[in-house]
Amino acid sequence: MSIALSEQCNLNCTYCNVDKLSKKRIDPELFLQQYRKKKSEYPNERFQIDFFGGEPLLQWDLVQRITEEIKKDGNQLFMPTNGLLLNEERVDYLVKNNFRVSLSFDGLWQDLNRPQHNSTGSLKHYIEKRDLFKKIPDLECHTMVSRGNYNLLENHLFITELLGINPDLTLVRDVGIWDQEAVQKFNIGFSELVNWYIANADSVEVPGLIHHYLYHIILYTSKRVRVDFCGAGDHYFSFSENKLIPCNRFKDDNSMIAKIPEYKLMKECESCDVKNYCKKGCLFENIKNEGPIVELCDIYKHIYSELIRMVKELNGNSTFREYMQREIYDA
């Protein structure tokens, strides 16, 4: 379950459509009612509770109220945050309560993609806070890749060097973001990242972007598991504006929720070469687009074909083989 505490945010990211100046907040007691109901429906399941915003640290009192109530239940607690409102006390609280924390940070693209409300950049604040960030064990970093962000390798190396974290690069998957020129440039950037990894596989970790898509191939080839949609409304729910819905994106339009069964498995995918691996983008955006977004499909097909080439080229590499064996075991 995720909780959209409020859409309010202290940054003004170009690719994010939430109401960043919103004054609306959820009522934590109403969330706890829904949480207890779901817990009683699935008494043997371990839940992951994601504290989302906007920026969740702007609602610190709600984070604490909910955490104090549910922490005894053995859930995995997760918070994606831009991190700018972290301080020693908050870091201590998150660490003490075993939160998995993921920093939303775009590295070299930060000032372009994630400006502050006064239009100034925010990168310098991350550099100032990096020692504080390093106090969070197993801190993750997720980095959005949008149109204009093609130097994937350079940014991967920048973030790895600055924070000591292998970032998870995630495509912005909204309708209207990508065009064919942007797709071509992204694909060149992706091949550059793959070639760099092939040349250095003995001495570097598998970059997060490669790992993410390679895992889909591993899941299917080793376990015959296909991921056809994100699970919104199925095994993933969001508590947004005091109601439980499939995902925060669906909060304003019930007619979109009604279309989920139709788009969980899209007819266009059935004849596609990568259907067994592909996670098929964002369910909400596919419904909006009335089918898969062709520019993203071109990216997915390039990614999977490059990864299959990579696996073949690294066939004799023992470090890579060990990595693959571990992933197959964990899949």
Gap between the Cα atoms of 280 and 216, Å rounded:
11
Output the smallest distance, CB 247 to ligand SF4, in A.
3
Instruction: Give the interface size with ligand SF4 as a residue count (CB under 6 A).
Output: 21
Nearest CA to 189 out of 276, 122, 108 is that of 108
Strand pairing category for 168-171 and 238-240: unpaired
Q: Please tell me whether residue 171 binds ligand SF4 under the rule CB under 6 A.
A: no
Q: Please tell me whether residue 278 binds ligand SF4 under the rule CB under 6 A.
A: yes
Output the smallest distance, CB 219 to ligand SF4, in A.
14
Extended beta strands in 151-263, E state:
168-171, 238-240, 243-245
Task: Identify residues 281-320 at the interface with ligand SF4 (CB under 6 A).
Answer: 281-284, 292, 297, 300-301
Binding-site member from 214, 232, 245, 307 for ligand SF4 (CB under 6 A): 232
Q: Please tell me whether residue 239 binds ligand SF4 under the rule CB under 6 A.
A: no
Of 230 and 310, CB closest to ligand SF4: 230
Binding-site member from 175, 257, 272, 311 for ligand SF4 (CB under 6 A): 272
Output the smallest distance, CB 206 to ligand SF4, in A.
22
Please provide the DSSP assignment of 7-23 as one string: S--SB--TT--S-TT--
Binding-site member from 61, 181, 252, 268 for ligand SF4 (CB under 6 A): 268
Of 133 and 263, CB closest to ligand SF4: 263
Task: Identify residues 20-59 at the interface with ligand SF4 (CB under 6 A).
Answer: none
Contact 193, 307 (CB under 8 A): no
Of 30 and 265, CB closest to ligand SF4: 265
In what order do the strands lie in the sheet containing 140-145?
168-171, 140-145, 99-104, 76-81, 48-52, 2-4, 238-240, 243-245
Of 91 and 171, CB closest to ligand SF4: 171
Output the smallest distance, CB 264 to ligand SF4, in A.
11
Q: Which residue has the tokens 């508590």?
A: 239
Extended beta strands in 75-193, E state:
76-81, 99-104, 140-145, 168-171
Binding-site member from 162, 269, 310, 314 for ligand SF4 (CB under 6 A): 269
Task: Identify residues 172-191 at the interface with ligand SF4 (CB under 6 A).
Answer: none
Q: How far apart are the first and last CA of the chain?
A: 22
> From the CB of residue 91, how many other CB atoms can be counted at a distance below 10 Å?
19
Contact 52, 5 (CB under 8 A): yes
Output the smallest distance, CB 288 to ligand SF4, in A.
10
Of 4 and 77, CB closest to ligand SF4: 4
Please provide the DSSP assignment of 122-152 as one string: -HHHHHHHHHHHTTSTT-EEEEEE-TT---H
List interacting residues with ligand SF4 (CB under 6 A). 230, 232, 236, 247, 249, 266, 268-269, 272, 274-275, 278, 280-284, 292, 297, 300-301
